[in-house]
């Protein structure tokens, strides 16, 4: 709708007229309008997007006719200036009366469209401003932090059982990837969003109950008081790690009680206070970074009692495990799985103890009736899953019966029955076929993190010399990995001190791990396991000859290391026995003879050069006995990488040798004396050609030999063109991934080519696109 203005001050332009009218429009709540003025005849027009707003403006500022005094007068024509006797003005611009009346012509349609667009644009901008950005943190104020576990009451209401409390205030900042808590005395807690299973918001009292899948990361930073005292020089800096602004700790630094339960109680409750709470909650829900539920979580009115106290129940449960293991009421693999359910925070020790009693009765009755064991470790491993088959988290909508230990035991029996079905038995037969079990062994695993220890397995691991020496006692060996809470490596940081974490790792290496009555102590590591931050542990065992084997006995059986004085070198030599050796051959059964030969040397002046360092020879007849024993998929090879007693190196085919013979160059291949010559173990074979990589050293040598730089640039351009062609189509991408050996175990290259056949672009998937981009951007040989 359009409104007509008369007697507008002459000097007002469109812009200044809008400026004068805006206060009157804002007073009426009118947002979208436009105006124009005609400076020559003192007239103007105002266009409104909504007719209701135009009528509201006319009602307030429209001209009003004076009462009729009986005199006859002619009406003033439209556009003429009315006299005071005809009408009075209700709008004043710059102290000038302006008469307002409805226009007798329709508004400009383009002006109406422009106003509508401006309104939509303002609404869009306002919505973007109101919507929280993914990078903008949302900060709540925390009054305390409590740690414990959830349980269900008889009326099926969820209750938080507090184990310990940290009564300090500070901000809780929900960032892009994690929740960060900072407290008054310098304690800092980092909780990744990926570890938050659910956050339950309770109104009275105002709390956030966080259900975590892994422990948070704890730090101790400088408090405000410490920083001020440091500026004044009142703090001894020698007590703080040099150049480190914070220290990674095992728990909240000012709470010894929390350090004891930091890795076992993964339910955290935050007391929330402060203004603008509702607006922050709405913004947090809109972000959708974590799962948020609004539900009532009951708090016990009395202090924690022995029935739910974690430490009391853990002592009771572990004593039951030890007694069951000593009395051989349950096999060790079942005891291991029970303890893993507690260590991995799937069950409270009280529930696990109830399951322990049920399992003892079930195994005892099966033994008396001559039936096979009612539950296997494979059924327990399914309970560790995160899907529908696994144990549920104690969330607000969880059925309490799903966490009842008796119901879990019944469910465990049903899983075992399902595993014993014909289909699953066929899968198990494939898994345990000789081609796999001859080169692998079932091994228990553990992961040591800053806050806890988790147990896993048993999983298939490639055999090494130690596992091959004790084939019937592999459950006494454990592969232990040292990692961060999420399983990733603990990366070095110049600003964070990890001294307390390394002290914990050192304590584990020295004291070992207690699992169901056994103490697994440090045994050794190979170079590959050292790179993956893992080591081998072992428990005291009795071998097939009824001899007790401790750590010292096992190491002495490998060889004599007394003459090696350097600790790192000694550890490396011991590590030879822990290197993966998928295949082996018995020397006595194959009747292979061992000979010693000299190195091939050459003297150039006073310099001696060795041309056979670490490379021995093998006859064709002996090599033909080894070929059938190589892992499946290995091609016939004439070069073998071997470990044999204290010997380490390569064996190459020498067709001149007669019979079954192996020739060792003692000077360069024997690393330590050993009497364990029974098995010749193969680490790897030269079954495929390796690519030659031009690194800086090789390029420098070629340049010194006179190679033109244009040759290197031409090779570089050819490689760049090839990399660009990789992403041109799916076939090239799949071929490239296959040649680089990426995803070969799960046929990634074939999968990408199959997607293209169905007109599906793999680049639309973030993960597949990231895999290809990471390889092509870094180059094929990185």
Q: What is the pLDDT of residues 216-274, one digit of tens each?
A: 999 988 766 666 666 666 666 555 555 567 889 998 877 788 888 899 999 999 999 88
- Within 10 angstroms of residue 133's Cβ, the number of other Cβ atoms is 11
DSSP strands (E only) in 665-770: 679-685
Tell me the mean pLDDT in the region 509-519: 94
Q: What is the CATH number of the domain that holds 115?
A: 3.30.70.330
Statement to judge: residues 642 and 758 lie in one domain:
no
- On average, the pLDDT of the chain sits at 85
Statement to judge: residues 122 and 13 lie in one domain:
yes
Quote the pLDDT of residue 76.
44
Tell me the mean pLDDT in the region 339-350: 93
Q: Does any domain span residue 439?
A: no
User: In this structure, what token pair is assigned to residue 294?
Assistant: 């609004």
Domain boundary among 111, 130, 149: 130
Given a cut of 50, whether residue 468 has pLDDT beyond it is yes
High-pLDDT (> 70) share of the chain, %:
88
Is the preceding omega at residue 122 within 30 degrees of 0, hence cis?
A: no
Statement to judge: residues 148 and 282 lie in one domain:
yes
Domain boundary among 406, 431, 456: 431
**What is the 3 state secondary structure string of 306-335?**
CCCCHHHHHHHHHHHHHHHHHCCCCCHHHH
Q: What is the C-alpha radius of gyration for the chain, rounded to an integer number of angstroms? A: 40
Quote the pLDDT of residue 127.
67
Statement to judge: residues 144 and 279 lie in one domain:
yes
Q: Does any domain span residue 561?
A: no
Quote the pLDDT of residue 345.
92
Quote the pLDDT of residue 239.
56
Quote the pLDDT of residue 777.
67
* Ranges 206-215, 236-245, 771-780: which has the least confidence: 236-245
Given a cut of 50, whether residue 148 has pLDDT beyond it is yes
- Within 10 angstroms of residue 496's Cβ, the number of other Cβ atoms is 17
Residue 634 banded pLDDT, cuts 50, 70, 90: low
N-term to C-term CA, the chain: 69
Given a cut of 80, whether residue 370 has pLDDT beyond it is yes
Quote the pLDDT of residue 690.
75
- Within 10 angstroms of residue 653's Cβ, the number of other Cβ atoms is 16
Residue 84 banded pLDDT, cuts 50, 70, 90: very low
Statement to judge: residues 335 and 277 lie in one domain:
no
Tell me the mean pLDDT in the region 508-524: 94
Q: Is the separation of the CB atoms in 55 and 62 below 8 Å? A: no
Considering its fold, how many domains does the chain have in total? Answer: 5
Question: How many Cα atoms sit within 13 Å of 445 on the Cβ side?
Answer: 15
Statement to judge: residues 663 and 758 lie in one domain:
no
Statement to judge: residues 73 and 158 lie in one domain:
no
Could you tell me which of 323, 187, 170, 353 has the C-alpha nearest to residue 259? 187
Quote the pLDDT of residue 71.
44
Quote the pLDDT of residue 217.
94
Statement to judge: residues 628 and 597 lie in one domain:
yes
- Give the structural domain span for 663: 581-685
Residue 422 banded pLDDT, cuts 50, 70, 90: low
Q: Does any domain span residue 481?
A: no
Q: Does any domain span residue 673?
A: yes
Could you tell me which of 676, 674, 679, 677 has the C-alpha nearest to residue 559? 674
Q: Does any domain span residue 75?
A: yes
- Within 10 angstroms of residue 143's Cβ, the number of other Cβ atoms is 16
Domain boundary among 294, 323, 339: 294
Alpha-carbon distance 667 to 669, whole Å?
6
Q: Does any domain span residue 437?
A: no
Quote the pLDDT of residue 73.
43
Taking the complete model, does pTM exceed 0.85, yes or no? no
Statement to judge: residues 700 and 740 lie in one domain:
yes
Residue 137 banded pLDDT, cuts 50, 70, 90: confident
Q: Does any domain span residue 538?
A: no
Statement to judge: residues 108 and 179 lie in one domain:
no
Quote the pLDDT of residue 232.
67
Q: Does any domain span residue 527?
A: no
pLDDT (tens digit per residue) in 279-337: 888 888 888 889 999 888 888 765 555 456 888 899 999 999 999 999 999 999 999 99
Tell me the mean pLDDT in the region 534-554: 93
Given a cut of 90, whether residue 763 has pLDDT beyond it is no
Statement to judge: residues 126 and 216 lie in one domain:
no
Statement to judge: residues 585 and 659 lie in one domain:
yes
pLDDT (tens digit per residue) in 150-178: 988 888 888 898 888 888 899 999 998 99
Alpha-carbon distance 266 to 342, whole Å?
12
User: In this structure, what token pair is assigned to residue 334?
Assistant: 């079942």
């Amino acid at each position: 709708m359009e409104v007509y203005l008369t007697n507008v001050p002459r000097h007002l332009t469109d812009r200044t007229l809008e400026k004068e009218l805006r206060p009157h429009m804002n007073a009426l709540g009118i947002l979208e309008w436009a105006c124009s003025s005609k400076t020559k005849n003192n007239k103007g027009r105002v266009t409104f997007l909504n007719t209701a707003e135009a009528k509201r403006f006319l009602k307030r500022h429209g001209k009003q006719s004076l009462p009729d005094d009986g005199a006859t007068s002619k009406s003033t024509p439209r556009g003429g200036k009315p006299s005071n006797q005809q009408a009075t003005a209700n709008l004043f611009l710059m102290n000038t009366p302006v008469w307002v009346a409805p226009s007798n012509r329709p508004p400009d349609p383009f002006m109406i469209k422009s106003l509508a667009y401006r309104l939509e644009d303002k609404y869009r901008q306002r919505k973007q401003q109101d919507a929280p950005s993914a990078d903008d943190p949302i900060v709540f104020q925390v009054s305390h932090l409590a740690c414990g576990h959830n349980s269900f009451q008889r009326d099926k209401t969820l209750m938080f059982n507090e184990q310990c409390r940290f009564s300090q205030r500070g901000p809780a900042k929900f960032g892009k990837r994690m929740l960060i808590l900072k407290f008054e005395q310098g304690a800092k807690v980092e909780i990744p969003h990926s570890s938050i299973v659910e956050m339950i918001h309770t109104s009275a009292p105002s709390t956030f109950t966080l259900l975590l899948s892994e422990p948070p990361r704890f730090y101790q930073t400088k408090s405000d008081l410490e920083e001020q005292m440091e500026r004044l020089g009142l703090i001894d800096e020698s007590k703080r790690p040099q150049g480190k602004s914070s220290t990674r700790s095992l728990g909240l630094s000012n709470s010894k009680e929390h350090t004891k339960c930091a890795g076992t109680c993964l339910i955290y409750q935050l007391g929330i206070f402060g203004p603008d709470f509702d607006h922050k909650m709405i913004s947090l829900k809109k972000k959708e970074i974590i799962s948020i539920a609004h539900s009532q979580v009951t708090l016990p009115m009395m202090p924690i009692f022995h029935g739910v106290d974690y430490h009391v129940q853990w002592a009771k449960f572990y004593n039951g495990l030890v007694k069951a293991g000593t009395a051989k009421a349950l096999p060790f693999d079942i005891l291991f799985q029970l303890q893993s359910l507690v260590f991995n925070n799937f069950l409270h020790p009280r529930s696990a103890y109830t399951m322990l009693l049920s399992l003892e009765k079930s195994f005892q009755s099966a033994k008396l009736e001559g039936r096979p064991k009612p539950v296997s470790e494979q059924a327990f491993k399914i309970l560790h899953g995160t899907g529908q088959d696994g144990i549920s988290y104690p969330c607000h909508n969880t059925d309490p019966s799903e966490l009842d230990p008796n119901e879990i035991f019944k469910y465990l029996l049903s899983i075992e029955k399902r595993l014993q079905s014909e289909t699953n038995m066929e899968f198990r037969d494939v898994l345990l076929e000789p081609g796999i079990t001859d080169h692998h062994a079932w091994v228990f695993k553990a992961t040591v993190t800053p806050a806890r220890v988790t147990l896993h397995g048993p999983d298939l691991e490639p055999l090494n010399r130690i596992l091959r020496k004790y084939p019937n006692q592999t459950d006494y060996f454990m592969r232990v990995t040292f990692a961060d809470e999420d399983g990733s490596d603990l990366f070095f940081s110049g600003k964070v001190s990890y001294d307390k974490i390394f002290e914990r790792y050192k304590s584990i290496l020295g004291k070992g791990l207690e699992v169901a009555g056994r103490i697994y102590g440090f045994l050794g590591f190979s170079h590959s396991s050292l790179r993956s931050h893992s080591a081998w542990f072992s428990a005291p065992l009795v071998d097939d000859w009824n001899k007790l084997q401790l750590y010292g006995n096992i190491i002495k059986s490998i060889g004599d290391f007394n003459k090696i004085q350097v600790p790192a070198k000694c550890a490396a030599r011991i590590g030879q026995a822990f290197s993966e050796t998928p295949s082996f051959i018995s020397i006595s059964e194959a009747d292979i003879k061992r000979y010693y030969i000299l190195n091939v040397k050459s003297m150039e002046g006073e310099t001696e050069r060795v041309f056979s360092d670490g490379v021995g020879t093998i006859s064709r007849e002996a090599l033909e006995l080894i070929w059938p024993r190589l892992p499946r998929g290995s091609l016939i090879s004439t070069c073998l990488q071997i470990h044999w007693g204290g010997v380490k190196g390569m064996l190459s085919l020498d067709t001149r040798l007669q019979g079954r013979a192996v020739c060792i160059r003692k000077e360069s291949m024997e690393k330590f004396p050993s009497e364990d010559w029974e098995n010749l173990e193969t680490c790897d074979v030269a079954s495929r050609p390796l690519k030659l990589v031009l690194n800086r050293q090789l390029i420098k040598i070629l340049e010194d030999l006179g190679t033109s730089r244009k040759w290197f640039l031409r090779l570089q351009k050819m490689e760049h063109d090839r990399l660009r062609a990789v992403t041109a189509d799916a076939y090239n991408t799949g071929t490239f991934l296959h040649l680089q050996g990426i995803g070969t175990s799960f046929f990634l290259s074939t999968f990408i080519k199959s997607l293209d056949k169905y007109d599906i672009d793999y680049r639309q998937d973030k993960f597949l696109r990231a895999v290809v981009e990471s390889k092509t951007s870094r180059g094929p040989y990185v």
